């Protein structure tokens, strides 16, 4: 099938927010009387809170009791203390503009809640470009389950083999793979290439991918790119 759409993760992919999320979780757990080290939480960023909380504290659930209060505290701390200082990932806006110029449909698949997503898109400076989205508010299971990716496909009316996904964590790679959508990974979320194993290609950040679209897994969607857009050497791996 021809390439017609791109599913986009947001945290760590379009906005540099993964460290901030980890700090917010540490503070939320601490405020609840649980001492959880940053190093324990940071590798779990990319999961939704429904997965992260019981992974860190098996006696808790994000849907009830103390776990639910911790999840709410994380959201509040993240938005109040960290969101105002977030920066877009390099090339985030340029990449989305290039995808649209190629005629591709775009849709977000994010483990964030819907109100949080609005702040993230603004921080990424793409809030005026991306309209279609699925979030953890729309599905029962967050990444690495494939539910979000499946819901994103349904929202834009495309088949898995007509799309590619762009993400930054192993949970994106797993979710996309389980939904049948090949995943292009970016390193700006903090993961090594070994951690992103299974991605069809890996780039430093959206700017790197945008600079190498002509040789990327998105190349078939390009419409005669200018010669100066075609690099002599890329940095993709995988």
Which residues are designated catalytic? Answer: 9, 11
Write the DSSP assignment of the chain as a string of letters: ----EEEE--BTTTB--HHHHHHHHHHHHHHTT----HHHHGGGBTB-HHHHHHHH-TT-BTTBHHHHHHHHHHHHHIIIIIGGG--BPTTHHHHHHHHHHTT-EEEEE-SS-HHHHHHHHHHTT-TTT---EE-TTT-SS-TTSSHHHHHHHHHHT--GGGEEEEESSHHHHHHHHHHT--EEEEGGGS--TTTTTT-SEEESSHHHHHHTGGGSTTGGG--S--GGGS-SS---B-
C-alpha 138/C-alpha 115 separation (Å) is 12
């Amino acid at each position: 099938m021809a390439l017609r759409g791109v599913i986009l993760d947001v945290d760590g992919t379009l906005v540099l927010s993964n460290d901030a999320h980890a700090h917010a979780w540490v503070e939320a757990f601490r405020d609840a009387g649980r001492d959880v080290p940053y190093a324990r939480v940071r590798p779990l960023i990319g999961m939704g809170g429904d997965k992260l909380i019981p992974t860190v504290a098996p006696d808790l659930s994000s849907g009830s009791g103390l776990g639910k209060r911790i999840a709410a505290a994380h959201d509040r701390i993240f938005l109040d203390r960290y969101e105002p200082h977030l920066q877009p990932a390099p090339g985030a806006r340029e990449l989305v503009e290039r995808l649209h110029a190629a005629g591709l449909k775009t849709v977000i698949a994010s483990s964030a809640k819907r109100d949080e997503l609005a702040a993230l898109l603004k921080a990424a400076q793409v809030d005026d470009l991306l309209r279609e989205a699925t979030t953890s508010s729309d599905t029962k299971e967050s990444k690495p389950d494939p539910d979000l990716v499946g819901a994103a496909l349904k929202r834009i009316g495309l088949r898995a083999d007509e799309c590619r996904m762009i993400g930054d964590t192993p949970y994106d790679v797993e979710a996309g793979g389980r939904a049948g959508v090949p995943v292009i990974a970016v390193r700006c979320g903090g993961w090594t290439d070994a951690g992103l194993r299974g991605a069809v290609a890996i780039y430093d950040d959206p700017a790197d991918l945008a600079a190498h679209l002509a040789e990327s897994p998105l190349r078939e969607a390009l419409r005669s790119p200018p010669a100066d857009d075609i690099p002599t050497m890329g940095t993709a791996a995988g």
